[in-house]
Amino acid sequence: MRRSVVLLVLLASLLPAAAEAQPRQGDVVPGSYIVTLTAGARPGAVAADHAARNGAVVDHVYRHAVRGYAARMSAAQARAVAADPRVAGVEQDRVVTTQVQSLPTGIDRVDGELSSAVAGDGTGTVNVDVAIIDTGIDVDHPDLNVVGGRNCVRGPNTYNDGHGHGTHVAGTVAAKDDGAGVVGVAPGARLWAVRVLDNRGSGTTSSVICGIDYVTANATEIEVANMSLGGSGGDSVCGGSDSYHNAICNSVGAGVTYAVAAGNSSADANSYRPATYEEVITVSALADFNGEPGGGGAATCRSDVDDTFADFSNYGSDVDLIAPGVCILSTWNDGGYNTISGTSMASPHVAGAAALYKANNPGATPAQVKTALQGAGNLNWNNVDDTDTTKEFLLNVDAF
């Protein structure tokens, strides 16, 4: 029987723009105006005339994209220019800023900027290969280093992302530290797009196993894999009748560390695969809105309480770590960026951490990576909303 596999995405919304230093984008530039002209008016001649008669100090003359000029002048001079019948319009100039790289709150919360890669300083890069077993990755995204992949979904034979989820996951793992967009936990790591979910974000166990099989075949290169997906199902033992679990067991045995999402059903993760499997690192979600411990951050893209267990997250003894998973900003399709929530967003923080650890400890086994990540975690979060009595260690990478 084929089991349905679904994405663990809860919500997509945009974060409000962060406050920027002055001058701010869109601010009016005092004493600076853009003048557009009517058809037939000669831009150079009109600009020179207005400079002579009205005192305009011309900075640019436009002849192609628009016809007109830009100049510095007073408001009274601008009104006089606007009265010229050759002028179609006069508008105030405005500030435009570069779209500089952002340090997402999740990267801040796990101390990515304090790791060996110093995420966010514009120089970090990590020499590790990570597979994103998901909807694929936007292979042309300028903030991602996609080096290869495999399509395991029926239809067009491409591992390019037709949904956006896999691209978002990839950015949290490894967005480049290049001064643009966002930065990941393991900046610039080589990404392998393993497409096992279709453009609707759904697939089958057989397609997921196809993806795991591909990763295992390339285990000499791929050190870490992320699976922000899941379906119903209980635990089993390696070597039993559960082909899904056997695939995971053999892939981990080949040296690949797996980070997986706990699930978004506010339920015990022991009823969800692959979250319930012992060989993986299962990750629940923390609600964090400001990248800082202690709570108090205002909710942004969805309602929750800062620095607490996310109200949607699965829980239980199968969970190994908790990581930020609410209102996470990351890469999106068509070279874009988006903010969404889910344990799907928590898991790639851990995959990125595993990549950092492997970069500095290339001989570490998956079990050793899990132990190291748990040992480096902290309990500096409020588990008031955690349904079980176990307080998971919060991911922290400052030691990696």
pLDDT in tens, 256-272: 999 999 999 899 999 99
Looking at the structure, do residues 88 and 107 belong to the same domain, yes or no?
no
Domain with residue 61: its CATH number is 3.30.70.80
214 in any annotated domain: yes
Angle of helix 243-253 relative to helix 205-217, nearest 10 degrees?
20
Q: What is the pTM of this model?
A: 0.77
The single residue listed with the structure tokens 């590790």 is 128
362 in any annotated domain: yes
The reply to whether 50 belongs to the active site is: no
Q: Which residue has the higher pLDDT, 3 or 81?
A: 81
Looking at the structure, do residues 37 and 9 belong to the same domain, yes or no?
no
Local confidence band at 305 (pLDDT 50, 70, 90 cut-offs): very high
247 in any annotated domain: yes
The CA-based dihedral angle spanning residues 328, 316, 368, 330, taken in that order and rounded to the nearest 10 degrees: -10
25 in any annotated domain: no
pLDDT of 293 strictly over 70:
yes
Cα dihedral sign, 361-366-370-371: negative
Tokens of 217: 């075949």
385 in any annotated domain: no
Task: Give the pLDDT score at 376.
Answer: 95
Task: Give the pLDDT score at 98.
Answer: 26
The answer to whether the CB of 93 falls within 8 A of the CB of 32 is yes
Calpha distance 7→227 (Å, rounded): 10
Residue of 50, 165, 245, 349 marked active site: 165
394 in any annotated domain: no
C-beta atoms surrounding 393 within 10 Å: 19
Domain that holds residue 42: 32-92
Looking at the structure, do residues 85 and 108 belong to the same domain, yes or no?
no
Looking at the structure, do residues 205 and 60 belong to the same domain, yes or no?
no
Looking at the structure, do residues 163 and 73 belong to the same domain, yes or no?
no
How many angstroms from the chain centroid is the CA of residue 340? Answer: 9
Looking at the structure, do residues 160 and 296 belong to the same domain, yes or no?
yes
Domain with residue 140: its CATH number is 3.40.50.200
Looking at the structure, do residues 187 and 258 belong to the same domain, yes or no?
yes
Task: Render pLDDT for 64-109 as a digit per residue (tens, 0 to 9).
Answer: 767 889 899 999 999 999 999 999 999 888 653 223 344 678 888 8
Counting Cβ atoms within 10 Å, is residue 125 exposed (0-12), middle (13-18) or buried (19+)?
middle
Task: Give the pLDDT score at 111.
Answer: 76
Residue of 307, 344, 349, 386 marked active site: 344
Calpha distance 386→154 (Å, rounded): 39
Task: Give the pLDDT score at 114.
Answer: 66
Residue of 108, 111, 129, 134 marked active site: 134
Give the residue among 282, 286, 281 at the shortest CA–CA distance from 357.
281
Looking at the structure, do residues 139 and 64 belong to the same domain, yes or no?
no
Q: What is the mean pLDDT of the chain?
A: 86
21 in any annotated domain: no
Q: Which residue has the higher pLDDT, 22 or 270?
A: 270
Calpha distance 330→340 (Å, rounded): 8
Task: Give the pLDDT score at 237.
Answer: 93
Boundary (domain end) residue, out of 41, 59, 92? 92
Looking at the structure, do residues 342 and 214 belong to the same domain, yes or no?
yes
The reply to whether 206 belongs to the active site is: no
Percent of the chain with pLDDT over 90: 62
The single residue listed with the structure tokens 């344990």 is 343
Q: Report helix, strand or coil for 101.
A: coil
Omega before 23 within 30 of 0, i.e. cis: yes
Task: Give the pLDDT score at 226.
Answer: 97
The number of distinct structural domains making up the chain is 2
170 in any annotated domain: yes
pLDDT of 25 strictly over 90:
no
pLDDT of 17 strictly over 90:
no
Task: Render pLDDT for 311-332 as a digit per residue (tens, 0 to 9).
Answer: 999 999 999 999 999 999 999 9
* Rounded average pLDDT over 231-258: 91
Task: Give the pLDDT score at 298.
Answer: 92
Looking at the structure, do residues 72 and 156 belong to the same domain, yes or no?
no
C-beta atoms surrounding 49 within 10 Å: 15
HEC-encoded secondary structure of 333-369: CCCEEEEEECHHHHHHHHHHHHHHHHHHCCCCCHHHH
The reply to whether 165 belongs to the active site is: yes
Q: Report helix, strand or coil for 270.
A: helix
Task: Render pLDDT for 159-192 as a digit per residue (tens, 0 to 9).
Answer: 999 999 999 999 999 999 888 899 999 999 999 9
Looking at the structure, do residues 231 and 106 belong to the same domain, yes or no?
yes
Looking at the structure, do residues 86 and 221 belong to the same domain, yes or no?
no
